[in-house]
Amino acid sequence: MKITRNHVEKVALLSRLEMPESELEAFTEQLNAILEYADSLNRVDTTGIQPTAHVLPLKNVMRADEVKPSLPRELALSNAPEQEDGYFKVPKIIEG
């Protein structure tokens, strides 16, 4: 599919973008160049290549949960703007 100036004008209108005449031509050429490049990728022979979602193998790196010493409650709350009954007090954001 070839993008025409009319396509660019319509997308600009739908996006509520004002575009000078000079930019309409430039965007038409740029979008067609992008589509040509994408089409060249479609012509690459990928026979025998497994589909992937990411180029690198990804895995979660987990560590065992261990009980360790932490900050004393008083020190953790020392800079809190508000606290109540030994806990941070924050504004309510969910009605219920």
pLDDT in tens, 17-64: 999 988 999 999 999 999 999 999 889 998 998 888 788 888 888 999
Range list of β-strands (E), the chain: 83-84, 87-88
Domains annotated for the chain, with CATH where assigned, are 5-42 (1.10.20)
Q: Which two tokens stand for residue 63?
A: 């560590």
Contact between residue 31 and residue 3 where contact means Cβ atoms under 8 Å apart? yes
pTM of the model: 0.49
Task: Residue 5: name the closest of 40, 32, 39, 35 by CA.
Answer: 32
